[in-house]
Homo-oligomer: A and B are copies of this chain.
């Protein structure tokens, strides 16, 4: 039941969620997790100075478990190409992990 995987993390602006989910689905990933987030890097926070607690809901963090690094890079490349000229965002990869159990994910 144990398997290796890569975790791709995408942090970007909330309004991009549906379009990014479409990219993830079309790449063939079987699951992802979405979390509301804030932080430096969102355009609002940069323009208004210090972040506040309310900034914790201006961004999203999407985590995608992929079977291999290639799928993660493919998703990342598409997200960056389509959105990172005009929107804040970062994508990064966590290499070492182990999926223990998965059901309907």
Binding site for B on A (CB under 8 A): 5, 7-8, 11, 14, 17-18, 21-22, 24-25, 30-41, 43, 46, 50-53, 55-56, 59-63, 65, 72-73, 76-77, 79-80, 84-85, 87-105
Instruction: Indicate how many identical chains form the complex.
Output: 3
| CB-CB nearest in chain B for A29 | B40
In the complex, are the beta carbons of A94 and B94 less than 8 A apart?
A: yes
24 A-B pairs whose Cβ atoms sit less than 8 Å apart in the complex: A31-B40, A31-B90, A32-B40, A32-B41, A34-B37, A34-B39, A34-B51, A35-B37, A41-B104, A43-B104, A65-B90, A73-B100, A80-B100, A84-B101, A87-B104, A88-B105, A89-B104, A91-B99, A91-B102, A92-B99, A92-B100, A93-B97, A95-B98, A96-B96
